Amino acid sequence: MFAYLLRRLLYAIPILLGVNLITFALFFVVNTPDDMARMQLGVKRVTPEAIEKWKTERGYDKPLFLNPAVSGVGVVTDTIFFAKSARMFVGDFGRAEDGRDITREIGLRMGPSLAIALPTFILGLFVTVSFALLLAFFRATYLDFWGVVLCVAMMSISGLFYIIGGQYLVSKLWRLVPISGYAVGLDAWKFLILPVVIGVISGVGASTRWYRTIFLEEIGKDYVRTARAKGLSEPTVLFRHVLRNAMIPILTGVVVVIPLLFMGSLLTESFFGIPGLGSYTIDAIQAQDFAVVRAMVFIGSGLYIAGLILTDISYTFVDPRIRFDR
């Protein structure tokens, strides 16, 4: 197990390196720092001095990969690549356009993001798995048919509609909870309840339908027939046998997103004014803050790889056939 984990962790390094190279190429090779400076300072009436100043302030005035001007290790370290990309591996993301330290900002914003994403995830998983089991229990009946139709219809509605509609109905018309905002501590519940409910509802359609297919596939297998032949009742078959065996394909899709919960949700956070990582990203995109976007890309892919490893570990818990000792 340990050797397997170590191998997986080592395999993550070239992938992170690749991500790093891709983002570096996107941000510094496709466009030169001069282009970015002109973009930030306004295309017209910009002096070369202003561009130079902008570049020096942000450390973009160095060469890309190799710096022949300095001697020793500086040839490699005193470059944009080392300062901006390689430093990400030790958690140093530099400063945002407004001068704040990105690493610190990310630490501050993880909490609110998790406060929304974690309840949405757990509640959503519970609701969708129960619905899917219900549909599987009533398979090939009108309830099943109309349930699937409802799922497809719910999938076809834009996520923006759920948010805008929910905010309008609950916050503006009924005045049950504030439209947007955030509070620290237990007071936060009234700001969190609406985004969580909307998050769950907007995900119900697609996931329920997917889990239903997984359950139905499982129900068609021989061991289920055996279980029924033994005289077990349908609920026992569903909960004791089908649900447990369907956990493997469900886990594949679910565990991988758990680390990504830290990143928060772009839309929900920006509509509800929650100071999490999602709204941080949106603000950065809209302000064209390249440093922040680069940092988020790196963290996002790191978390995704962590999710893949977690998925593998979780298999050993639900499927005793899978072992990584070899």
Partner 1 sequence: MKFLPVLLWSDALIWFLAIAGTILGALSWRNAPLRAAWRRVGSSRTGMASATLLSVFLLVGLLDSLHYRPRLESGGQDQPVAYAVEVLSLLDAIAAPLRTRNEKTYSAPLATRAYAKESIEVVDADGRVHAERVFPRLKFGGAHLGNDEGKRAEDVLRRVLSAGGLAFGLLGLVSFGVSIWLARGQKVSPGQSWRLIWKGETEFAWNAVLITLGALLLVLLPVLALCVDYHVFGTDKVGQDVFYQILKSVRTALVIGLVTTLVTLPLAIGLGVLAGYFRGWVDDVIQYLYTTLSSIPGVLLIAAAVLMMQVIIDTHPQWFSTAAERADLRLLALCFILGLTSWTGLCRLLRGETLKLRELEYIQAAQAFGVADLRILLRHILPNLMHIVIIALVMDFSNLVLAEAVLSYVGIGVDPTMISFGTMINNARMELAREPMVWWSLAAAFAFMFALVLAANLFADVVRDAFDPRTAGAS
Q: Which residues bind partner 1 (CB under 8 A)?
A: 14-15, 18-19, 22-23, 26-27, 30-31, 35-36, 38-39, 43, 152-153, 155-161, 164, 168, 172, 260, 263, 266-267, 270, 281-282, 285-286, 288, 290, 293-294, 296-297, 300-301, 304-305, 308
Close Cβ partners of 221 (under 8 Å, ≥ 6 residues apart): 245
Nearer to partner 1, 202 or 314 (CB): 202
Q: Left (φ > 0), alpha (ψ -120 to 50) or beta: where does 111 sit?
A: alpha
Which DSSP string corresponds to 18-57? HHHHHHHIIIIISS-HHHHHHHHH-SSS--HHHHHHHHHH
Nearer to partner 1, 35 or 234 (CB): 35
Tokens (6 digits) for 250? 């469900």
Q: Give min distance, CB of 115 to partner 1, in A.
A: 20
Q: Give min distance, CB of 275 to partner 1, in A.
A: 17
What is the residue type of 159? G
Can you say whether the dihedral through the CA atoms of 102, 284, 200, 170 is positive or negative? positive
Q: Give min distance, CB of 39 to partner 1, in A.
A: 5
Q: Give min distance, CB of 231 to partner 1, in A.
A: 28
Contact 91, 109 (CB under 8 A): no
Nearest to 201 by CA among 261, 263, 123: 123
Nearer to partner 1, 9 or 69 (CB): 9
Nearer to partner 1, 143 or 157 (CB): 157
Contact 277, 113 (CB under 8 A): yes
Q: What distance, in Å, lies between the first and last C-alpha atoms of the chain? A: 8
Which DSSP string corresponds to 229-254? HTT--HHHIIIIIIHHHHHHHHHHHH
Nearer to partner 1, 51 or 129 (CB): 51
Q: Give min distance, CB of 114 to partner 1, in A.
A: 16
The CA distance from 170 to 279, in Å, is 22
Q: 67 phi and psi, to 5 degrees?
A: -115, 100
Q: Give min distance, CB of 175 to partner 1, in A.
A: 14
Nearer to partner 1, 233 or 288 (CB): 288
Q: Which residue has the tokens 């790191």?
A: 302
Q: Which residue has the tokens 């001068």?
A: 99
The CA distance from 166 to 204, in Å, is 15
Q: Give min distance, CB of 159 to partner 1, in A.
A: 6
Q: Give min distance, CB of 323 to partner 1, in A.
A: 23
Nearer to partner 1, 155 or 224 (CB): 155
Nearer to partner 1, 26 or 114 (CB): 26
Nearer to partner 1, 30 or 186 (CB): 30
Close Cβ partners of 92 (under 8 Å, ≥ 6 residues apart): 103
Q: Give min distance, CB of 184 to partner 1, in A.
A: 27
